[in-house]
């Protein structure tokens, strides 16, 4: 087995695949990249059993072979090379020799047949979506997914496909984000929960990309194919909570305000809030929003006044500042609107502008009890 490949091209592809590999694996073979050489094409794969990703690389070769090469060692070596062709030759004494223009490096490889095989999806349904749209949907929702091992369904993003739109939802019971595209639809109705790790990988790879991504899915797995790569992952098993039921329908009190002003104020005032509750108080009357926080234990206190446009009754409502900051940071509009009904009902945060055609973002944040 012998092939020649560009050092920077190989490094770039392997760094993406390296994101799949866990720092500590139960199976030692998973610490390797699988190199599967078929004539002019080299298929490199990485897996953690839950997620498997593979990429097809164009190389100069005329042989075939299947070996597993230690990932960390190979990546560390490739990072040090300037752009140049590297020759990989597999010898009989279980080592692979890499030759550069200046030297030779030998590393032990493992039998490629020990590497776990990727799952084949039987009779999958499929949908096609542009890469940058998928990356945007992931980044708008993934921050709100939970980290609770006892409620695994909430630790992922809920994909809800229909013939009218695509909806992506995430929640951790304190905050909820619903991102919808009415300009894209699927051929049939489908629902599944994607884990965070493969989503973060996809978000990083597809940000700003113009490629089409084909999503195939069945009850237990999903497969994302784009360019020369494919990512297959196991879905989170379970039923997603009925999120529509928690979004309040009647919200007569509506506040419109500049996002950057609101964000800066909340960030400053939050520094003075209680370190366990992170509670801030919003007091709205007329065209004025008063944001305050107090940490009674240390006699710390802050208060700011902002002008806003407000329709509704005067009200006071408390929020956890961390949740509010996360949401404001994940919106890109100049103005946001906060709709509320009662101080003990969730507030709904939506961008007032800056959205694409057919794009809808609804963020819901649970209030905290104010101690008067």
pLDDT digits (tens, 9 = 90+) for 48-58: 999 999 999 99
CA distances for 357 relative to 38, 203, 350, angstroms: 44, 21, 15
Tell me, what's the pLDDT at 91? 87
pLDDT digits (tens, 9 = 90+) for 190-205: 999 999 999 999 999 9
Distance (Å, whole) CA 110 – CA 90: 11
Burial (CB < 10 A; 0-12, 13-18, 19+), residue 147, is exposed
Percent of the chain scored above 70 by pLDDT?
Answer: 100
Distance (Å, whole) CA 116 – CA 295: 54
**Cα-only R_g, the chain:** 25
Distance (Å, whole) CA 130 – CA 359: 14
For residue 93, what pLDDT band results from cuts at 50, 70 and 90? Answer: confident
Tell me, what's the pLDDT at 40? 87
Candidates 145, 176, 173; CA nearest to 362 is 176
Written as six digits, the tokens of 201 are: 């990988």
- Mean pLDDT value across the chain: 95
Written as six digits, the tokens of 260 are: 């950057």
Written as six digits, the tokens of 179 are: 């991102």
**67 pLDDT more than 90:** yes
**228 pLDDT more than 80:** yes
The full set of domains in the chain, from first to last, is: 2-114 (3.10.150.10), 125-244 (3.10.150.10), 247-368 (3.10.150.10)
CA distances for 350 relative to 12, 32, 144, 276, 337, angstroms: 38, 45, 15, 27, 5
**Looking at residues 214-218, what average pLDDT do you find?**
95
**355 pLDDT more than 90:** no
Please, which residues bridge with residue 56 across strands? Answer: 43
DSSP character at residue 343 = T
Greater model confidence, 368 or 93 = 368
Distance (Å, whole) CA 295 – CA 106: 61
pTM recorded for the entire structure: 0.93
For residue 364, what pLDDT band results from cuts at 50, 70 and 90? Answer: very high
pLDDT digits (tens, 9 = 90+) for 5-31: 999 999 999 999 999 999 999 999 999
**Contact partners, residue 95, CB within 8 Å, separation at least 6:** 106, 107, 108, 109
Written as six digits, the tokens of 99 are: 């030759």
Tell me, what's the pLDDT at 82? 95
Lateral strand order in the sheet of 359-365: 190-195, 156-161, 166-171, 175-181, 359-365, 347-351, 335-340, 253-258, 309-311
Please, which residues bridge with residue 94 across strands? Answer: none
**Contact partners, residue 175, CB within 8 Å, separation at least 6:** 144, 323, 326, 327, 363, 364, 365, 366
Tell me, what's the pLDDT at 372? 64
pLDDT digits (tens, 9 = 90+) for 145-182: 999 989 999 999 999 999 999 999 999 999 999 999 99
* Side-chain-side CA neighbours of residue 11 (13 Å): 16
The answer to whether the beta carbons of residues 66 and 135 sit under 8 Å apart is no
Written as six digits, the tokens of 26 are: 């139960």
Tell me, what's the pLDDT at 66? 96
Distance (Å, whole) CA 142 – CA 207: 14
Quickly list DSSP for 14-59.
Answer: HHHHHTTS-SS-SSGGGGEEEEEEETTEEEEEEE-SSEEEEEEEE-
The number of residues in the chain equals 372
Q: Which residues of 329-340 are buried (b: 16+ CB within 10 A; e: fewer)?
A: ebbebebbbbbb
For residue 354, what pLDDT band results from cuts at 50, 70 and 90? Answer: confident
pLDDT digits (tens, 9 = 90+) for 329-348: 999 999 999 999 999 999 99
| Residue appearing with tokens 């993406």 | 16
**Looking at residues 84-106, what average pLDDT do you find?**
94
Lateral strand order in the sheet of 288-295: 300-307, 288-295, 279-285, 315-320, 367-368
Quickly list DSSP for 133-170.
Answer: HHHHHHHHHGGGS---TT-GGGGEEEEEE-SS-EEEEE
pLDDT digits (tens, 9 = 90+) for 256-310: 999 999 999 999 999 999 999 999 999 999 999 999 999 999 999 999 999 999 9
The answer to whether the beta carbons of residues 167 and 360 sit under 8 Å apart is no
Task: Tell me the backbone φ, ψ of residue 16, rounded to 5 degrees.
Answer: -65, -50
């Amino acid at each position: 087995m012998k092939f020649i490949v560009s050092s920077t091209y190989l490094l770039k592809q392997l760094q993406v695949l390296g994101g799949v590999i866990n720092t500590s694996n139960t199976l030692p073979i998973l610490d390797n990249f699988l190199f599967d050489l078929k004539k002019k094409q080299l298929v490199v794969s990485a897996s953690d059993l839950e997620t498997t990703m593979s990429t097809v690389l164009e190389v100069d070769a005329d042989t075939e072979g299947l070996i597993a090469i230690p990932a960390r060692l190979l990546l560390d070596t490739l990072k040090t090379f300037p752009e140049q062709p590297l020759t990989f030759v597999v010898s009989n004494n279980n080592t692979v020799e890499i030759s550069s223009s200046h030297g030779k490096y030998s590393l032990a490889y493992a039998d490629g047949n020990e590497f776990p095989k990727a799952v084949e999806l039987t009779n999958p349904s499929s949908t096609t979506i542009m890469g940058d749209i998928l990356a945007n949907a992931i980044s708008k929702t993934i921050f709100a997914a939970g980290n609770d091992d006892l409620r695994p369904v909430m630790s992922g993003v809920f994909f809800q496909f229909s013939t009218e739109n695509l909806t992506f939802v995430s929640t951790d019971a304190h905050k909820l984000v619903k991102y919808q595209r009415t300009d894209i639809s699927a051929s049939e109705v489908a629902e599944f929960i994607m884990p965070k790790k493969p989503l973060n990988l996809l978000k990083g790879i597809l940000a700003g990309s113009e490629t089409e991504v084909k999503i195939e899915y069945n009850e237990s797995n999903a497969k994302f194919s784009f360019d020369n790569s494919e990512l297959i992952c196991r879905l989170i098993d379970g039923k997603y909570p009925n999120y529509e039921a928690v979004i309040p329908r009647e919200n007569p009190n509506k506040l419109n305000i500049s996002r950057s002003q609101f964000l800066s104020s909340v960030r400053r005032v939050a520094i003075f809030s209680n370190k366990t509750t992170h509670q801030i108080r919003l007091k709205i009357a007329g065209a004025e929003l008063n944001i305050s926080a107090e940490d009674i234990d240390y006699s710390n206190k802050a208060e700011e006044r902002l002008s806003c446009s407000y329709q509704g009754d005067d009200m006071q409502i408390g929020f956890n500042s961390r949740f509010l900051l996360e949401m404001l940071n994940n919106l890109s509009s100049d103005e946001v609107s906060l709709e509320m009904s009662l101080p003990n009902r969730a507030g709904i945060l939506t961008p007032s502008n800056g959205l694409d055609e057919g794009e809808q973002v609804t963020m819901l944040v649970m209030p905290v009890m104010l101690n008067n």
